Amino acid sequence: MIRDALEKSARRSSEQLARPLARTGIDPNALTVTGFLVSIPTAIAIATDRTWLGGILVLCTGAFDTLDGAVARLTGNGSKFGAFLDSTLDRWAEGIIFSGLAWLFAARGTQTELILSVLTLVGSMLVSYTRARAEALDIECNVGFLQRPERFLLIGISLLGPSWLLTAGMWFLAVATQITAIQRVFHVHKEVERGKTETLDDALEN
């Protein structure tokens, strides 16, 4: 319930910010592509140890990801291809940014953080993949406490702080993304089993 309330609040806030953009008639897909393009200098800034700049750009990338959906809702210009493009470029951007983090840790010689960045990337992709596969089975799968907006917010804040904060953030992300993916696996299993039970009950009633 708390999460639902937070999501509704965040959605209202994003729509308020998106209203001026919506009035310009901008295509939501243009915002999606722009957010993806910002991820490239973001990764470069992170890889070259300008973490403060990388943190700001990560937050900007996350903002574009929020605004494109809000503009699509406000203008009614959402489409199946737009949703596909958004999901695809989100994964691409995330891969680019985590590659920048891996490069940074490799250059610093911090092997633990390098491993954590790879684990986080794998976990992040699994979080998205499990949702996509669940939706292909007509199962809603929004469970879990670390979806993409939360990941980007945490990465951005971690990059803006001292090095110990970045290490702590990577530990949290590496563990939490795996937990979120596991949560979704159990959720889908539960929903599939529930569907079997309901089908059996219907068959018995008939």
CATH of the domain at 104: 1.20.120.1760
Q: What's the pLDDT score for residue 12?
A: 65
Q: What range does the domain containing 178 cover?
A: 2-205
Query: Rounded distance, CA 36 to CA 122, Å?
Result: 19
Tally the domains of the chain.
1
Residues composing the chain: 206
Query: Rounded distance, CA 142 to CA 155, Å?
Result: 21
Q: The tokens of 92 are what?
A: 């691409």
Query: Rounded distance, CA 188 to CA 3, Å?
Result: 19
pTM of the model: 0.83
What tens-digit pLDDT sequence spans the chain (206 residues)?
445 544 565 566 666 777 777 777 788 888 889 989 999 999 999 999 999 999 999 998 888 877 877 887 777 777 888 888 888 998 999 999 999 999 999 999 999 999 999 999 999 999 989 988 898 888 988 887 777 778 888 999 999 999 999 999 999 999 999 999 999 999 999 999 887 766 545 554 55
Beta carbons within 10 angstroms of residue 79's beta carbon: 11
